[in-house]
């Protein structure tokens, strides 16, 4: 096993050299700025997200062609490329949609990428990734699998449980934290669970051990040379944010606060997602009910003294113009009394519970 440090968004020539040297059979592409809130934080973070994510993906595809390496690319995408709330109760297919087009010669059927509806600059870059994959698969016969992943929860896989030093990140802050991690952390310290808006947003979820298993299954089942990119919806279940908060609150005996939403999104939405491909390949999902209590007790509570409460309120907003009432200031005002509660924390901890 070898390690090569390469900024694939900026060091194209070095990337080509690495590919020629190692000639990989498969490449798992995680090299992108991964947070929607961070991508909306400022003009600087918006530009960085586009520059890094688009350059990284395109450089990788172009380098594979130049180096003549026939590697299978497995890319971690997002369910957010589909958008939320505009498809109603229609099931979201795995990447492609069959459409009918009326022409003078009669009806023509085509299979196209599902229409994109990005909700942030981060999600926009993932929709552009799809177009690059489609082009390079068609033009240069690259073999590509795009995983449209839901919100990841949990910290442990069968490998990491072997030693405490291997435990994964537990992000809970406003930029990189995910909603369930935030709820679990808040419950562990007696902080009210923070639901933005009315909590009617429905989102797709997947446990981290299922994420790892899905990547393994994707690598083991590559598309043939010349095929269009394979797209998997990498999710196992969907939940409304409000229902999720109530579930955690019941388990942890926590309270819930409903706060102004810093995002521009529908107050509530339906989300029906097809995930038959991974299920047919043998994925056995870990559900929230099965694993939730374990996460609360073994992770969030165990490392409660490392939590920095000042990182809980969001520091990014989707609104480009100042609204009648500032949602961020309002959130901070509503959280002020709670933030003044004494809590132990270790020096240097900012956005994660690091082990």
Q: Determine which one of 45, 49, 57, 78 is catalytic.
A: 78
DSSP 209-261: HHHHHHHHHHHHSPPPTTPPPEEEEE-SEEEEHHHHHHHHHHHHT--EEEE--
Alpha carbons 120 and 254: distance in angstroms, whole number:
31
Asked if 312 and 172 count as a contact pair (C-beta separation under 8 A), the reply is yes
Asked if 69 and 20 count as a contact pair (C-beta separation under 8 A), the reply is yes
Annotation says 57 is catalytic:
no
Measured CA to CA in angstroms, residue 205 lies from 233, 236, 268, 271, 342 at distances of 11, 6, 17, 11, 33
Chain centre to alpha carbon of residue 198: 22
Annotation says 176 is catalytic:
no
* Nearest partner of 330 among 256, 242, 259, 267, judged by Cα: 259
* Nearest partner of 307 among 215, 197, 190, 164, judged by Cα: 190
Annotation says 136 is catalytic:
no
Asked if 306 and 353 count as a contact pair (C-beta separation under 8 A), the reply is yes
Q: Where would I find the H helices in the chain?
A: 12-22, 36-39, 43-67, 121-140, 179-189, 208-220, 241-252, 276-280, 288-295, 327-339
Q: Determine which one of 49, 84, 126, 194 is catalytic.
A: 126
Asked if 179 and 243 count as a contact pair (C-beta separation under 8 A), the reply is no
Q: Determine which one of 38, 82, 84, 122 is catalytic.
A: 122
Alpha carbons 223 and 293: distance in angstroms, whole number:
38
Q: Which residues contact 181 (CB under 8 A, 6 or more apart)?
A: 153, 170, 171, 172
**What values do phi and psi take at 75, rounded to 5?**
-110, 135
User: The sheet that has 143-149: what strands, in order across it?
Assistant: 26-29, 72-76, 143-149, 230-234
**What values do phi and psi take at 165, rounded to 5?**
-65, -15
User: Which positions are catalytic?
Assistant: 78, 122, 126
């Amino acid at each position: 096993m070898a390690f090569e440090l390469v900024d694939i968004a900026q060091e194209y020539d070095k990337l080509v050299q690495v590919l020629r040297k190692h000639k990989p059979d498969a490449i798992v592409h995680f090299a992108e700025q991964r947070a929607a809130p961070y991508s909306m934080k400022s003009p600087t973070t918006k530009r960085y997200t586009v520059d890094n994510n688009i350059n990284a993906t395109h450089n990788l595809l172009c380098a594979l062609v130049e180096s003549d390496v026939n590697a299978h690319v497995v890319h971690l995408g997002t369910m957010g490329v589909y958008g939320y709330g505009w498809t109603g109760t229609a099931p979201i297919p795995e990447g492609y949609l069959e459409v009918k087009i009326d022409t003078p010669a009669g009806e023509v059927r085509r299979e196209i990428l599902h229409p994109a509806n990005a909700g942030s600059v981060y999600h926009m870059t993932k929709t552009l990734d799809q177009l690059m994959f489609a082009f390079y698969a068609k033009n240069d016969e690259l073999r590509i699998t795009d995983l449209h992943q839901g919100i990841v929860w949990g910290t442990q896989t069968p490998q990491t449980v072997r030693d405490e030093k291997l435990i994964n990140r537990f992000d809970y802050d406003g930029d990189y934290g995910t909603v369930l991690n935030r709820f679990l952390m808040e419950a562990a310290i007696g902080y009210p669970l923070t639901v933005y808006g009315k909590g009617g947003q429905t989102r797709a979820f997947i446990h981290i051990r299922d994420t790892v298993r899905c990547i393994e299954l994707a690598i083991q089942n590559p598309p043939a040379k010349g095929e269009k990119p394979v797209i998997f919806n990498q999710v196992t279940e969907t939940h409304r944010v409000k229902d999720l908060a109530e579930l955690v609150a019941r388990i942890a005996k926590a309270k819930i606060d409903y706060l102004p939403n810093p995002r521009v999104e529908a107050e509530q939405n339906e989300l029906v997602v097809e995930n038959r491909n991974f299920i047919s390949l043998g994925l056995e999902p870990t559900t929230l009910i099965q694993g939730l209590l374990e996460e609360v007790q073994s992770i969030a509570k165990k490392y409660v003294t490392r939590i920095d409460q000042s990182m809980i309120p969001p520091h990014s907003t989707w609104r480009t113009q100042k609204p009648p009432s500032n949602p961020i200031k309002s959130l901070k005002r509503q959280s002020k009394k709670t933030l003044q509660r004494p809590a132990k924390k270790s020096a240097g901890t900012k956005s994660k519970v690091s082990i």
